[in-house]
Structure 1
Amino acid sequence: MKRRKILAGGLAIVIVAGAVTWGETDTAYAKESVLQALESGNATVLEIDKLQEDTLELAYKPCLESLLETLPDTLTVTVSTGTVLQSRTEVEVPVTWECEEDYDESLGEYTFKAVMDDIEVEADMPTITVVTGKEDGGPVENYLQVEDAHQVQTVQSISENASLPSAYDTRENGDGLPALRDQSAYGTCWAFATIGALEADLIASDLADENIDLSELALAYFTNKGYDDPKDLHDNDTISSQEDYLNLGGNIYLAVNSLANNVGAVAEADVPYTWVSKKELDEALQVRIDDTYALSNNAATMVNYYDIAITDQDGIKTAIMDHGSVYAVMEYEDEYYSATHNSYYYNGEECSNHAIMLVGWNDNFPKENFLDDKDKPNHDGAWLVRNSWLDGSDEDNADFEESVYGYFWMSYEDMGVTSMSVHAFDVQQDGYDNCYAYDGAAGMNSHRVSNGAVLEESYPVDAGEEIEAVSVRTGSTDLTLDATVTAGEQSVTGSIETTYEGNYTIELEKKLIIDKDTNVTVQIVPTSKSGQVYMGGEDAVRMVDSDGQCLFFGYAVRGGKSKLNGRAVNYDWHIKLFTNTVDLTESNLVTADVTLDETQYSYTGAAFEPNVTVVKNDITLNEETDYRVSYKDNINAGTATVIVTGRGQYCGTVSRTFTILKADAFIKLAAQTKTYTGKTIAYTGKVTKSGSSGRVTYAYYLDAACSKPIHASSVKEAGIYFVKATLAADANYKAAISAATQLQINKTANTMKVSAVKKKVKYNAVKKRAIKVVCPLSVKRAIGKITYEKVSAAKCLILNEKTGKVTVKKGTKKGTYAIRIKVRAAGNANYEAASKTVKCKIIVK
Structure 2
Amino acid sequence: MKLKLKYKWICRLLSVCVLSVALTGCAVPWPALDIQQTEESAETRKETEPESEELPSVPRTEETEKTTQARVNAAAVPSRYDYREHGRCPAAGSQGELGTCWAFATMIALESSLLPQESFDFSEDHISLQNSFGMSQDMGGDYTMSMAYLLAWQGPVLEEDDPYGDGESPDGLEPVKHVQEIQLLDNKDYAGIKQAVYFHGGVQTSLFTALEDESSQSEYYNEDTYSYYYTGNQISNHDIVIVGWDDSYSRENFNQDPGMDGAFLCMNSWGTEFGDGGLFYVSYADTNIGIHSLAYTGIAPPDNYENIYQADLCGWLGQLGYGDEEAYFANVYRARSDERIEAAGFYATGADTEYEVYVLRGAPENGKLVLNESVASGRFEQAGYYTVDLKRPVDVKSGERFAMAVRIRTPEAVHPVAIEYQDDSSEIMTYVDLSDGEGYISADGRNWANTEKEQDSNICLKAYTSAR
2:267 pairs with one of 381, 386, 392: 386
Deviation at 1:327, TM superposition (A): 0.3
Listed one character per residue, the Cα deviations across residues 201-251 of structure 1 (whole Å, up to 9, x for unaligned) are 1226x4x1xx3111121111112xx3xxxxxxxxxxxx454xxx1211101
Aligned with 2:163 (options 256, 269, 272): 272
Query: 1:551 & 1:259 partners in 2: Cα distance?
Result: 17
Q: Does 1:579 align with 2:465?
A: yes
Judged with a 3 Å threshold, the aligned counterparts in structure 2 of structure 1 residues 193 and 496 are, in CA distance, closer, same or farther, namely farther
Q: Which residue of 2 aligns with 1:413?
A: 285
SS at match of 1:348: coil
Q: What's the offset of the Cα at 1:349?
A: 2.1
Selected match of 1:534 from 416, 422, 435: 416
Which residue does 1:357 correspond to in 2? 241
The one-letter code of the counterpart of 1:180 is A
Question: For residues 226 and 414 of structure 2, what CA distance do their matches in structure 1 show?
Answer: 43
Give the CA deviation at 1:421. 1.1
Residues 170, 324 of structure 1: 8 Å contact kept: no
C-alpha deviation, 1:447, in angstroms:
2.6
Query: Does the alignment pair 1:479 with 2:353?
Result: yes
Q: 1:469 aligns with which of 336, 343, 346?
A: 343
Distance verdict in 2 for CA 1:423–1:494, change over 3 Å:
same
Match of 2:441 among 555, 563, 581: 563
Distance, in Å, in 2 between the alignment partners of 1:186 and 1:492 is: 47
Give me the whole-angstrom Cα distance separating, in 1, the residues matched to 2:148 and 2:155: 11
The structure 2 residue matched to 1:440, chosen from 291, 313, 327, is: 313
Q: Is the 8 A contact 1:476 1:535 kept in 2?
A: no
- Alignment correspondent of 1:303: 180
Matched, 1:503 2:385: yes
| Percent of matched pairs sharing the same residue | 26
- Cα deviation, residue 552, structure 1: 6.4
Distance 1:530 1:551 in 2: 28
Q: Structure 1 residue 460 and structure 2 residue 334: aligned?
A: yes
* Greater RCO (Cα-Cα under 8 Å, separation 6 or more): 2
Q: Distance in 2 between matches of 1:240 and 1:513?
A: 36
* Equivalences for residues 580-659 of structure 1 within 5 A: 580=466, 582=467, 652=468
- Map residues 96-175 of structure 1 onto 2, 5 A cutoff: 140=19, 144=23, 145=26, 147=28, 148=48, 150-154=56-60, 155-156=64-65, 157=68, 158-161=71-74, 163-172=76-85, 174-175=86-87
Q: Flag structure 2 segments of 5+ consecutive residues without an equivalent.
A: 1-16, 29-47, 50-55, 211-216, 364-371
Structure 1 residues without counterparts, runs of 5 or longer: 1-137, 227-238, 391-396, 545-549, 583-651, 653-845
Cα deviation, residue 477, structure 1: 0.7
2: CA distance between counterparts of 1:511 and 1:464?
A: 13
Q: Does 1:340 align with 2:224?
A: yes
Q: 1:194 to 1:323 in 2, by over 3 A?
A: same
Name the SS of the counterpart of 2:241 in structure 1: strand
Residue in 2 that maps onto 1:514: 396
Separation (CA, whole Å) in 2 of partners of 1:143 and 1:575: 31
Q: Does 1:215 align with 2:89?
A: no
CA distance in 2, matches of 1:529, 1:556: 30
Structure 1 position 176 matched with structure 2 position 176: no
Q: Distance in 1 between matches of 2:176 and 2:21?
A: 29
| Cα-to-partner distance string for 1:741-793 (whole Å, 9 max, x where unaligned) | xxxxxxxxxxxxxxxxxxxxxxxxxxxxxxxxxxxxxxxxxxxxxxxxxxxxx
After superposition, the Cα gap between the structure-2 partners of 1:248 and 1:355, relative to the gap in structure 1 and judged at 3 Å, is same
Query: Is 1:376 the counterpart of 2:267 in the alignment?
Result: no
Q: Is the Cα contact below 8 Å between 2:90 and 2:111 reproduced in 1?
A: yes
Distance 1:302 1:249, change over 3 A: same
- Residue 474 of structure 1: how far off its partner (Å): 2.0
Q: Decide which structure has greater strand share.
A: 1
Distance in 2 between residues matched to 1:257 and 1:508, nearest whole Å: 23
Q: TM-score w.r.t. structure 1 length?
A: 0.43
Taking a change above 3 Å as real, the CA distance of residues 324 and 521 of structure 1, as seen in their structure-2 partners, is same
1:466–1:160: structure 2 CA closer, same or farther, 3 Å change rule? farther
Q: How big is the shift at 1:356?
A: 0.7
Distance 2:147 2:87 in 1: 24
- Tell me, what secondary structure is at the counterpart of 2:89? coil
Tell me the secondary structure at the aligned position of residue 269 of structure 2: coil
Tell me if 1:428 matches 2:316. Answer: no
Residue-by-residue CA offset, 1:102-135 (whole Å, 9 max, x unaligned): xxxxxxxxxxxxxxxxxxxxxxxxxxxxxxxxxx
Partner letter of residue 439 of structure 2?
K
Query: How many equivalent pairs are there?
Result: 391
- The equivalences for 1:159-308 within 5 A come to 159-161=72-74, 163-172=76-85, 174-203=86-115, 206=117, 208=118, 211-223=119-131, 226=132, 239=133, 241=135, 245-273=136-164, 277=165, 279=166, 284=167, 287-290=168-171, 292-293=172-173, 297-308=174-185
* Amino acid of the structure 1 residue aligned with 2:107: I
| Offset at residue 524 of structure 1 (A) | 0.6
Answer yes or no: is the 8 Å Cα contact 2:321–2:327 preserved in 1. Answer: no
**Structure 1 residues 202 and 146: alpha-carbon distance in aligned structure 2, compared to 1, 3 A threshold:** farther
Give the equivalent residue in structure 1 for 2:406: 524
CA contact (8 A) 1:443 1:556 kept: no
Deviation at 1:307, TM superposition (A): 1.1
Query: Which is greater in Rg?
Result: 1
1:351 shift after superposition: 1.0
- What is the one-letter code of the residue matched to 1:200? S
Please state how far the C-alpha of 1:314 moved relative to its aligned partner. Answer: 0.5
Contact 1:457–1:563 (8 Å) recurs in 2: no
Contact 1:141 1:249 in 2 (8 A): no
